[in-house]
Structures are given as C-alpha cells and as structure tokens.
Structure 1
Amino acid sequence: MTKAAVQLKADGPVEFIEVDVRPPGPGEVRVRMAAAGLCHTDVQALYGGVASMTMPPPAVAGHEGAGVVTEVGPGVLGPAVGDHVILSALGHDGTCEFCTDDHPSLCLRSLQLADPRTGNGPALSVDGTPVTPFGPLGTFTEETIVPAECAIAIDKAMPLDLACLIGCAVSTGVGAVRNRVTVRPGDHVAVLGCGGVGLNIVQAARRAGAGSVIAVDVSEEKLAAATAFGATHVIDARHVQVPDAVRAVTGPFGAHFTFESTGLTDCMVQAVSAIRPGGTAVLLGMAPSSSALALDNIADIILQEKVITGSLMGSGYSARDFPVLVREYLEGTLKLDELITRRRPLAEINEAIADLKSGTGLRTVFTF
C-alpha cells in the first residue's frame, strides 16, 4: 500500500488516499517518488478540456516527477535499483518511422505507453478498481510503476525536487528553442506566457544569443521573473496590442520567432501576427480540443512565407536531453531554483490546483 492523490469522481476534488501498487512487470521499474511538479496540463487532464488527455476516474495525474528506483521487473537492463531518475511522459523505441526521421517526440511507442489498457495495465488500484494514470506515469503518488524507458537515470548530485521540473517545464521550454527551431545570435524572440514553460524558453533563447528576448504576460510577478531569466524587454499584454508592442522592440518586420505557451487561442493569433516575413510561430500551450485558430489574413501566411508549428514536450529525446539539462544546472548555467514558488506536501494538492487556476506563483512542487 501507498498513498496517492486520486480523483474518485469526474470533476470532483482530488483525495489523498491509500492505494495498492502492483509489482513491476516485464520492462517496468518501481519508483519511490521524491518530488512532483504541478502543471496546467494536469488540471486539464483532471477537469477536461483536451479530449485525448481526459482520464476516467479514479485517476492520478502528474507527469513531472523524480525519485529513486527501488525494484526492477524482468528484462530491464536499466535503470538499476538505487538509481535516481527523472520520469518522462514520452517513450522512444528508436526504430519507428518518426524516431528514424528525427522526430522522437512523436514516437509510436509513446502513443502505446500512453494507453493504460496496453502493456501490464495500470500500476495503482483502489479497492480492486484500476486507477487511470496520466499517460504512462501518474506522478502524484508516493510510489509507482513506470516503463523502464520512461525512467531516465541522472547524476545523484542533482536535487530531486529540482530534477522533477526537467520532466516537463524545463525540457519543453528549452527543447522548443533547441530542437524545434534554430535561434541564431541576434534573432528577435517573443515569448507569450511566462509560466514554467515560458521562463525556460526565455532562458534558452537568451543562451542561444538572441538579440532581444521579449516576454509577454499579464502578471507583473511573471514578467519580473522573466527579466530574472534573461528577458531583455517585457510587455504587459493588458495594456497594449501585443504585435505592435513586439514591433516597437524589433523594428517594423517583427520577431524571427514567437513561442506561445498559454494555450489561449487569442495569444496564438498574436504570436502569428508578431512574426516577421519568413518567421516562425511555435505553439506549445495545450488548447481545448474544441478550439479553432481564426487567422485574419491567410494570404499573408503564404505571401510572407510565415511558419506555424507545434512542439510537443520540447520535441526532444528524453534519454539524451534530461542528463544534459542536469549537467547544465550542476554547472550553474541553467536556472531551476527560481522556478519553484512553493513546496507543498501532496495532501495539499487541491490548494495547489486552486493557486494554479488563479495564476498565483510560478511552479508548485510536491515533496514526499
């Protein structure tokens, strides 16, 4: 038995209760969680909005997590018992059409792992009823079972309460800059939404040598944080037309790259409007499944050769990227401490969700 934050009824609160954990099966490992971050996507999974992420109750959310491997199932070559690991919501087989075409974040194995009906089945149960996890993970639990390929071994010198953020906020933001596009020295970059993902876009763009990094948000707290993470300019979107404000910094053509991390369609339209001819708008925020993107002038997209693209969790390869990000933190070149606004016990998950919905703070991390 262990304790987990379980949503027992659709749209209901999350309850911190005892659950059963099955042994690890073939290709799986047992992980004792040390920390888990709360992301907006977790709230969407629990309370709806993105159809492909909806979890029927009972359900355990969470896709940012770090811990220690305590047991391995048959056939596991790594990680080993005692390894410190960051959990990844994406698996990679390295052989499918997307992996070999250099799109590992689209690996077909990830789609299989995300379906709890496949493989060895859900790791947790309540009174004999299987608990639906978030994809292959569900990190809001003191102990869990995950596919071995989703547990990435890292340097034990890395604090696990910071390491968990690499599983989504950090890898998604930094990876979008490094893997999805190529930001060159001197390029103008605008970042719409400066939460956990957006701040990591800011610091990655600055480290890539961007000439200007323009942070856009409606929160003074988040704009101040963006400055600390390397933004050269900030825009309070409550008081201006964002594309015009971006061009006031970049000159009349606009940004080379915009990154949209809020999931709000109005912000996505602004991101497209703010790029220059030949520029790229990168969409990262998850919008509700029913959303449609209404662009004013499709002809401009064609005539100005603008690019609109998505980026899933940094468009990267977790086994390669996570250890690199850990090393950068340990070397002092990657900011992580400043991302955490508050550490809470998992029993306070409903309070943390309320903070997230209200826009309070940057990132909450649950510590075990």
Structure 2
Amino acid sequence: MPGAARMRAAVLAGPRRFEIVEVDRPAPGPGEVLVRLEGCGVCGSSLVPWQGREWFRYPFPPGAPGHEGWGRVAAVGQDVSGLAPGDRVALLSGAAFAEYDVAPVGRVVRVPDAIRGPFPAEALGCGANVFRRSGIRAGDQVALVGAGFIGLVALRLAVLSGARVVALSRRETALALARRYGAAETLATGADRGADVARATALAGGRLFDVVVEAVGNQASLDLSSELVREGGRLVVAGYHQDGPRTVNMWLWNWRGIDVVNAHERDPRVQREGILAAAGAVAEGRLDPEPLYTAFPLVGVGAAFQAMEERPEGFLKAVLTT
C-alpha cells in the first residue's frame, strides 16, 4: 500500500537462514490489537523449522514463527475495550520476530507494572500450566528430569507449593539454577540409566517419586522418567517430543498403575490462564525468570537459534529484543 508504515521483520528464508527485511506494518482489524514489540522469546519448538525438514515450505511469513512476544500497545481496532496505546502487554501471536505484531484482543494479556524485564508470556505460561497439570501438592516427592526453561519455572512453582524436588540434568549450570530455585537435591545424569535411577531414589530417601516431570523431550529422558515413578504415581510429559515416534515400557506403566499426563495446552483460554498465573508469580517476586534469559538483538536471530541448538554452558533461553 503506497505510504503504508513500514517495519523490520525476520524472515526464515530457508534452513538455518534468516533474513532481516522491511515490510508493511500490520494494521489492527476489528477486535485486534497492534503491539510495538519490545522483544520475543525463542521457543524450542521453533528449532526444527530452523534446522529444516522436507515438509516445511520456505520462506516463512515475516516474523514467523515467533510466538512469545511482548511490548506496548500501538493501536487498537474497532470494538476493543480495556486496552489503550501505551499499555504494556504480552500477546499470543505467530509473527513476533518483528518490530510489530497484531493479535485478537482475547490473546493479549496486560503485563503487571511490577514486571520491568522481558516477559516471553507463552513460555512462562507453559511452565505454569505444566505445574497446574502436574497436580503437585505440599509434601510430594517430585523429580524433574531436564532443568531447562519450562522445567525450572515448573520447579519453582512446585517448591512454592511445598513439594520436595530433586532436579536431574546433564548440565551443571542448569543444576545450579535448580538449587537457586529451591531444589532440595540435584543430580548430574550420565549414560547409565540404572545408576541414575539408583542415585535419584537415594536422594529421595530410598523410594521412588510421587510425581515425575519429564521436561526434555527425547526417548532417553522419557525412559528415565518412567523408571522414577512410584506405584500409583504420576508421570507428567512436559518435554516437546517432535522428532518422531516414542516407545514406552508399557509393562512398567501397567504394573505400577501410574497416571500419565500430557501437559501441553492448546486451548487459548487455558494458555491465557497460565500466563496470568506466571505473571502474578513474577510480579509478586515469587518467581524470578531473569537468570534464565540470554538476550540477542533482532538482527542476531540466527545466532540465537544457533545457541538454542548447541546449548553452550550457561544458556537456557534466548530472547530477541527490538
């Protein structure tokens, strides 16, 4: 459109290749909100499109697949109430690797004034919903297998609920953060699953766990998690398993009579509730996610994805800033 306002956006032009382009700025339609983005988290689920698979079609639309954006309201469409330009918000959208993005008002959440730093809402909401779906209660013995971003958010909320948490990870930085967030014990895992099970149960007083949260998303973590659940306990699948089918020890699951919970939420209303719960915890100072972030500028989006793939020591989650 001649004279239309412009913005910068990252375009996933092909496997492992982002380009920064200038495109028309979106305009809010009826019931929509335009947000001037301050930043966007980089989700682990976006790693596979960046790496490339035969079923993807490139280039992606400008700003995609960014879906963890936050910023300030720039304009509102017709029939939008309760939000005004300047309000700090997070949005559940799909093109937030950009300077602006638009979303329906029902997928926009006001960020509490007490929160000053980055707020990748969708990811924080996922962690809160993992905790909610886990059914963790005061006094539960909990094992967290994989101390990444979502796992650590869930761990902190579990500790606040009065549970005793043992965190397992291959990475010392992640285990140090788990201790900082209140883990009672931590365990550096190795190649011998049987030895890991024995050491973890020893840390739990010689018994298996009431609740095990699998937060890695691969076959090995699922196998280890399954063996850590007590009879009648609960296995919570929080890891995003996107690289093919899985096998499970169904005999073990049957024999122990465990409950298996898929903690991934797809209902936008439930996602919103998780974001609100996480925002409350952050605003009240009960959850501090700042140590989990590594910031990159929008033009460094490729480096952010490289870090997400390589997981250098000290890296948990990338956020892009605009």
TM-score (norm 1): 0.78
Is 1:62 the counterpart of 2:71 in the alignment?
no
Aligned with 1:288: secondary structure? coil
Encode CA deviations 1:36-59: one digit per residue, 9 max, x unaligned.
1122112124335797xx564233
Q: Give the 3 Å change call, closer, same or farther, for CA 279–314 of structure 1 in structure 2.
A: farther
Q: 1:231 aligns with which of 183, 190, 196?
A: 183
Aligned partners of 1:291, 1:162: CA distance in 2, in Å? Answer: 35
Instruction: Please provide the CA RMSD for this pair.
Output: 2.3
Q: Is the 8 A contact 1:78 1:148 kept in 2?
A: no
Q: Tell me the CA shift for residue 214 of structure 1.
A: 1.1
Once the two structures are aligned, what percentage of the paired residues are identical? Answer: 25
Secondary structure in 1 matching 2:260? strand
> Shift in Å at residue 277 of structure 1?
0.5
After superposition, where does 1:86-101 map in structure 2 within 5 Å?
A: 86-88=90-92
What is the CA distance between 1:66 and its match in structure 2? 0.7
CA-CA distance at 1:208 after TM superposition: 1.1
User: Given the alignment, which residue of 2, 7, 11 partners 1:6?
Assistant: 11
Per the alignment, in what secondary structure is the counterpart of residue 351 of structure 1? Answer: helix
Deviations 1:307-365 (A, max 9, x none): 1121115987344443443233232211122212x222110111111111111211222
Q: 2:33–2:104: 8 Å Cα contact kept in structure 1?
A: yes
C-alpha change, 1:334 and 1:148, in structure 2 (3 Å) is same
Which of 268, 279, 291 is the equivalent residue of 1:326? 279
Counterpart position of 1:81: 85
C-alpha distance after superposition, 1:77-101 (max 9, x if no partner): 343322211123xxxxxxxxxxxxx
* Deviation, structure 1 residue 276: 0.3
Q: Counterpart of 1:144?
A: 101
Match of 2:169 among 211, 217, 223: 217
Question: Residues 279-294 of structure 1: matches in 2 within 5 Å?
Answer: 279-288=233-242, 290-292=244-246, 294=247
Of 141, 150, 153, which residue of structure 2 is paired with 1:188? 141
> Cα distance 1:356–1:20, how it changes in 2: closer, same or farther (>3 A)?
same
**Contact 1:283/1:310 (8 A) holds in 2:** yes
Aligned pair in 2 of structure 1 residues 221, 304: CA closer, same or farther (>3 Å)? same
Indicate conservation of the 8 Å contact 1:171/1:313, yes or no: no
* Most deviating of 75-84 and 192-201: 75-84
Change in CA separation of 1:87 and 1:45 when aligned onto 2, cut-off 3 Å: farther
Aligned equivalents of 2:138, 2:44: Cα separation in 1: 32
Local SS of the residue matching 2:118: helix
Q: Tell whether the 8 Å contact from 1:50 to 1:289 is kept in structure 2 after alignment.
A: no
2:277 and 2:228 map into 1 onto residues whose CA distance is 32
Matched AA of 1:64 = E
- Alpha-carbon separation, structure 2, partners of 1:314 and 1:326: 19
Write the distance in 1 (CA, Å) between the matches of 2:163 and 2:150. Answer: 18
Name the counterpart of 1:38: 42
Unpaired segments of 5 or more residues in structure 2?
A: 1-5
Q: State the alpha-carbon separation in 2 of the partners of residues 300 and 47 from structure 1.
A: 35
Q: Does 1:349 align with 2:266?
A: no
8 Å contact from structure 1 (residues 44, 50) kept in 2: no
What's the counterpart of residue 155 of structure 1? Answer: 112
Q: CA deviation at 1:6?
A: 0.7
SS of residue matched to 1:302: helix
* 2:3 corresponds to: none
Q: CA deviation at 1:62?
A: 1.6
1:167 and 2:119 matched: no
Q: Which moved more, 1:312-321 or 1:76-85?
A: 312-321
Q: Which of 130, 136, 152 is 1:199 aligned to?
A: 152
In the alignment, the residues of structure 2 paired with residue 240 and residue 230 of structure 1 have an alpha-carbon distance, to the nearest angstrom, of 26
Matched, 1:16 2:35: no
Report how many residues are paired: 310
Return the offset for 1:219. Answer: 1.0
Alpha-carbon distance in 1 for matches of 2:262, 2:221: 14
Q: Which amino acid aligns with 1:62?
A: G
Q: Map 1:267-286; keep pairs closer than 5 Å.
A: 267-286=221-240
Separation in structure 2 between the aligned mates of residue 299 and residue 319 of structure 1, nearest angstrom? 37
SS in 1 for 2:119: helix
User: How has the CA–CA distance of structure 1 residues 12 and 319 changed in structure 2, closer, same or farther, with 3 Å as cutoff?
Assistant: closer
- SS at 2:153's partner residue? helix
Q: Flag structure 1 segments of 5+ consecutive residues without an equivalent.
A: 89-135
Letter paired with 1:156:
D
SS of the residue 2:231 aligns to: strand
Aligned to 1:235, the other structure's residue is in SS state: strand
